[in-house]
Amino acid sequence: MDIFNQCKEINKHLDLSNEDKARNQLILLLDYMKNNNIEYTPVVNHLIRLTGLYPYINTDNAILEDRLIYDAFKVDIGSEEPLTLHREQSSLLKKLLEGKNLAISAPTSFGKSFVIDSFISIKRPNNILIIVPTIALTDEIRRRIYKKFSHEYKIITTADVELSDKNIFIFPQERAISYIDIIKSLDLLVIDEFYKASFDFDKERSSTLQKAILKLGKKASQKYYLAPNIEKLSSNLFTEDMEFIPLTFNTVYLSRHDTYKEITSSNKNAKLLEILNQHKDKKTLIYAGTYTEINTISELVKNSIPKSKFKRLIQFAQWLTLNYAENWHLTQSVKRGMGIHNGRLHRSLSQIQIKMFEDEGGLNYIVSTSSIIEGVNTSAQNVIVWKSKNGTYKLNSFTYKNIIGRSGRMFKHFVGHVYLFDKPPVEDETQLTIEFPENSIPDVDEEEYKNELTKEQIAKIIEHKETMHQILGKDVYNQLIKEDIFQSSREIVEKIAIDMITHPSSWNGLAHLNNSPKNWENPLYKVIKLQGTWDTKYANFVYFTQILSFNWTKSIPDLLSSLSSKSINIDLFFQLERNVSFKLAALLSDINILQKIIFKNKNIDISPFISRISHAFLPSVVYQLEEYGLPRMLSKKLHIAKIINFEDEELDIHSVINKFNELGIQYIKDAVDTFDEFDLYILDYFYDGISKQQRLDNN
């Protein structure tokens, strides 16, 4: 490659005001120079400056003017050293510091988190709330924020935590809802992936995010909403006072390979193995599209790729065999350097895989469902789109762009390679439309939002309120709505209340849920028949809940042995455990509220049972620590060694984190002789997420 001629071409694009093309060509040039160990010339550095990619400037070989730009765009992001922002990051930060409300669409590689961290460092706000789509992303952001700001802020990610004078809240929308009455004011409300407020993109959870935006947005002095790949934003209630800025500013180049054109029914598997072998020392994400296709790929890898000799992978596979299952797809895939990521896995297990994917000598491949694009911010040099599906649906252009945007990484991979094994969706302009879904949130005030709701929606809300007023009393129901106390949909709440009025005797067994598991059968049958499917037969789900009650006293292999008669394998175990701790807990919480009003003379309260299932029958802090990357198995070893009494009901997440920091990692490693080598690796990762960063200033 003739570097000087390439520079001339890039400059020509800039003269023609075609900056995107110039930047793409420049990134390809930087990739070539990196791969061939060629130092940047002053001309290359100057072109980096002209295209706005200031962090890429090599100050050793830059002219004075370009070195000054590199230094001028340095900001405090809470780290030990300031960081140089690129031009568009700096522009967004300036607007935020001016107090503007921003809705931003920017590529995955844009570096949006640096803007948030800079805002916190410079502005020193009292309260910031960051709403993210998944708990996995909650931990990822918590780790970053905790290192930088825990010396000044209380970092809150779990429920029922007492507030401090200065707080940074990081929640998925369901958890944010529980803080609506607790948080009195916010200096900044951040919504990550705000497109999920649209029913078009998240049919199940959009109404909850809408509720959080409406309720908490009123308490926020300023708002900052983030998403990728949105070109137009339709007028809507949720972003009406915000400036929408669609950005195409990329920091990496995507090289697309239309592999599907070479594929037949007989060579698809061989082609995948060929690409994996070609990039065996590079990090590769494989988007499978469905759970079935994940199993197909993992089976292919198990039968075709030799076992890895990397010590860490051997240890990980042994750890999975001991703590989960030997013949599990993940256990066998890990032996060959491939992880499996989906939304069903235990939180700590997903985090450990991402950690190993980012480490050298760890996982080189991860095969996933859409969880990899919504749950974490990891990226790789290569992305393989195995199937243009998202579950049972075809991929839309928006989700497709989001997936391929995971290839490449600023400062690490200038060029990301995308291999398409299935024909991509037709590219179209992405206009985000956010409307109240048909199942509108139960506490919408039909008068306040009459211009946003349809006549049919208003009629349904009024009809629902009239029904609930008749059953509970107007003042009682209005107070419940004011307190944001219900977790289920309006229809489910109404269905439960009507059933209690019309069939009161059928609810007589609720109190048995506070007793022995052998007494749970009838009340659980009654409850689960009220709401949809539970991913297995009713009888199996009831039996599973009874067996899960031994979650703290028995190992997962022992639980699976007890469940084998119901054909509940490890993958289904994960899904059913989530159904118990989220879906069943939410449903029973609403039932408990209603029955205490409707059957008030019975004085029944099933809160103790609800608390137990919401933590999957683990001690609450053990369950919460899994979000921090500490598996329940390690907590159990610490408990048995009497290092920390996890059964202490006074123990909360912040006090136990303080306890871990007081004891120190070396003390814990020395005190527990049952930890194996991979346990110690996990402990290092866990402690890295709870340790505070030492700052050089006096803040």
pLDDT for position 373: 66
User: Beta strands of 305-359 (E only): which ranges?
Assistant: 338-341
Q: How confident is the model at residue 442 (pLDDT cuts 50, 70, 90)?
A: low
For residue 22, pLDDT beyond 80: yes
Q: Which two tokens stand for residue 314?
A: 């051997």
Most confident of 145-149, 186-190, 277-281, 390-394: 186-190
pLDDT in tens, 305-329: 999 999 999 999 999 999 999 999 9
Domain boundary among 210, 226, 246: 246
Indicate if 55 and 67 belong to the same structural domain: yes
For residue 699, pLDDT beyond 50: no
**Residue 433 domain-assigned (yes or no):** no
B/e letters for 334-359, b = 16+ CB within 10 Å, e = fewer, are bbbbbbbbbbbbbbbbbbbbbbbbee
Average of per-residue pLDDT across 38-65: 96
Indicate if 96 and 179 belong to the same structural domain: yes
- Boundaries of domain holding 62: 3-72
Indicate if 97 and 217 belong to the same structural domain: yes
Q: How many other CB atoms sit within 10 Å of the CB of residue 494?
A: 19
The structure tokens 């042995």 sit at 561
pLDDT in tens, 72-95: 999 998 887 899 999 999 999 999
Average of per-residue pLDDT across 563-580: 96
Q: Can you name the residues that pair with 340 across neighbouring β-strands? A: 367
- Which of 111-120, 448-457, 571-580, 584-593 is predicted least confidently? 448-457
What CATH number is attached to the domain comprising 349? 3.40.50.300
Those residues with Cβ within 8 angstroms of residue 200's Cβ, 6 or more apart along the chain or in another chain: 433
What distance in Å separates the CA atoms of residue 348 and residue 329, rounded to the nearest whole number? 18
For residue 438, pLDDT beyond 70: no
Indicate if 597 and 658 belong to the same structural domain: no
**Residue 693 domain-assigned (yes or no):** no
What distance in Å separates the CA atoms of residue 652 and residue 326, rounded to the nearest whole number? 34
What distance in Å separates the CA atoms of residue 63 and residue 70, rounded to the nearest whole number? 11
Indicate if 357 and 455 belong to the same structural domain: no
User: Beta strands of 391-430 (E only): which ranges?
Assistant: 393-394, 415-420
Indicate if 95 and 237 belong to the same structural domain: yes
Closest-CA residue to 690 (of 627, 628, 624, 637): 628
pLDDT for position 79: 82
Q: In the chain, how many domains are there? A: 6
Indicate if 571 and 667 belong to the same structural domain: no
Closest-CA residue to 103 (of 190, 187, 188): 190
Average of per-residue pLDDT across 124-143: 91
**DSSP class of 387:** -
Indicate if 511 and 555 belong to the same structural domain: yes
Average pLDDT, the chain: 91
- The CA-atom distances, in angstroms, between 112 and each of 116, 119, 249, 340, 377 are 7, 11, 12, 27, 11
Domain boundary among 598, 614, 630: 614
pLDDT for position 462: 86
Indicate if 449 and 404 belong to the same structural domain: no
pLDDT in tens, 390-415: 877 888 888 888 888 888 877 778 99
Domain boundary among 187, 213, 246: 246
User: Beta strands of 371-471 (E only): which ranges?
Assistant: 382-385, 389-390, 393-394, 415-420, 431-432
Q: What pTM, to 2 d.p., does this model score?
A: 0.90
For residue 347, pLDDT beyond 80: yes
pLDDT > 90 fraction of the chain, expressed in percent and rounded: 72
What distance in Å separates the CA atoms of residue 113 and residue 118, rounded to the nearest whole number? 9
For residue 34, pLDDT beyond 90: yes
**Residue 696 domain-assigned (yes or no):** no
**Residue 399 domain-assigned (yes or no):** yes
- The CA-atom distances, in angstroms, between 56 and each of 146, 208, 414, 669 are 27, 40, 10, 41
Strands 232-233 and 431-432: parallel
Q: How confident is the model at residue 693 (pLDDT cuts 50, 70, 90)?
A: low
What distance in Å separates the CA atoms of residue 358 and residue 350, rounded to the nearest whole number? 13
Indicate if 338 and 475 belong to the same structural domain: no
Average of per-residue pLDDT across 533-549: 96
Average of per-residue pLDDT across 344-367: 90
**Residue 378 domain-assigned (yes or no):** yes
**Residue 230 domain-assigned (yes or no):** yes
For residue 14, pLDDT beyond 70: yes
pLDDT in tens, 635-650: 999 999 999 999 999 9
**Residue 694 domain-assigned (yes or no):** no
Indicate if 208 and 106 belong to the same structural domain: yes
**Residue 606 domain-assigned (yes or no):** yes
For residue 696, pLDDT beyond 50: no
What distance in Å separates the CA atoms of residue 351 and residue 427, rounded to the nearest whole number? 33
pLDDT for position 408: 84
For residue 389, pLDDT beyond 70: yes
Where residue 613 falls (left for φ over 0; alpha for ψ -120 to 50; beta otherwise) is alpha
For residue 264, pLDDT beyond 80: yes
For residue 437, pLDDT beyond 70: no
pLDDT for position 344: 86
Quote the Cα angle for 309-310-316, to 5°: 110
What distance in Å separates the CA atoms of residue 411 and residue 478, rounded to the nearest whole number? 54
pLDDT > 70 fraction of the chain, expressed in percent and rounded: 97
What distance in Å separates the CA atoms of residue 441 and residue 488, rounded to the nearest whole number? 9
- Which of 200-204, 319-323, 468-472 is predicted least confidently? 200-204
Indicate if 233 and 321 belong to the same structural domain: no
